[in-house]
Amino acid sequence: MSAQPERPPRTTMQDPAAMRVHPELRAAFESLPRFSDPYEDIEGTRAGFHAMLAAVPADRTGVDSERFEIPRADGSALTVEVYRPEGGAGSGGGEGAAPGPDARTAAHGAGGALPAVLHFHGGGFALGRSLPGQDRAAIALCRELPAVVITVEYRLAPEHRYPAGVEDCYLALEWAAEQAGGLGIDPARIALAGKSAGGGLSAAVALMARDRGGPAIVHQSLCVPDLDDRVGAEEGADGEGADVGGADVGGADVGGADVEGADVEGADAERADAGGELGARVTTGRSVQRSWKHYLPEGTAAAEAYAAAARATDLAGLPPAYVLVCDLDPMRDAGLAYARRLMDAGVPVTVRNVPGAWHGFELFAPETRVAKEMTAHWTGQLRAALYPVAG
């Protein structure tokens, strides 16, 4: 019997699924690394992420920031950082200080109060926290909108499972509204924003504010949001342990790359052979399931609405929303379904899909037109919500 000729190895872009990648993103896709399961050593994963951020300090030109401690009911404290245009409202109070009397003088708008953005970082509910004063997403929004941007160092899973993180985010919203005068914030222009897990937290906090009669929210910006614990459930049940999981990292720029919402999931060679290069290199349903497994309380069969906003049965009365999804993201369909349900409930919604892009693609392709247009679109929508044109 004659020997069969050895088959040449198949290149990444010969994979049929990988061919769906946008042409401008193919080089970046080819360079995607494979990481190990971040939950195997979550402290090591966080340390590595922070080391990466520290290697390239943020450009804070034109922006000041202060850190505040908000007391929780149990006596512990939630840390938030407030970013403002340089020399603007409330600068100079020092860590833990209450907003000062000069806070009513804003850096923009001839002394008027600025709008505010509560920014919740991504990271699979488990990592993604920026270094103090180094949240690139917050700095960019502060400059470009302009706005007071409040980043929230919510408690992280798996050490602190739901509802710890989302309750921290809601506490920060209440604090921002109560301290609006001292922080130089216009309380009628407070928005929520986040990517990935941060987008899911934004949607959940909007639900909480409606249900609890909390602070008014003018806009919710949900970028590639992690909204539904059912995403990838079939994949997770079919191959538990085969996927090495994923989590998103947020709020940073490394060498010019915005890593807000960028994926740190991994895949081993066995999974690459079984699922193709697309499944080996980018976020999959199984990695989404792994994130939810570490966020929800052990034994949870179905998430509550404040954990997974897609579980909410009534979406009426929520603030106007922006929903951005990526074509190759397993969370795309859940995001689009949520947007449609918001529309059906009478909520104004703007939807944007990035064709041929995967979850967190902008980390690896920050200078591409696709990445720049995506960022410009969601930033522009947030600006329009905070600075509406008078009728």
The whole-number average pLDDT for the span 15-33 is 86
Q: Rounded to a whole number, what is the largest CA-CA distance in the chain?
A: 90
196 included as an active-site residue? yes
For residue 351, give the 3-state DSSP assignment: strand
For residue 354, give the 3-state DSSP assignment: strand
329 included as an active-site residue? yes
Catalytic residue among 91, 196, 221, 291: 196
Q: Which amino acid would we find at residue 358?
A: W
The C-alpha atoms of residue 45 and residue 22 are separated, in whole angstroms, by 29
The region of weakest confidence among 92-96, 158-162, 175-179, 263-267 is 263-267
Beta strand 257-258 with 253-254 is antiparallel
Quote the pTM value: 0.84
2 included as an active-site residue? no
- If you average pLDDT over every residue of the chain, what do you get? 84
Helix runs in the chain, H state only: 26-30, 42-55, 136-144, 164-178, 180-183, 197-211, 233-238, 269-281, 285-295, 332-344, 369-386
Whether the predicted pLDDT of 30 surpasses 80: yes
The region of weakest confidence among 12-26, 51-65, 175-189, 331-345 is 12-26
What pLDDT is recorded for position 148?
Answer: 98
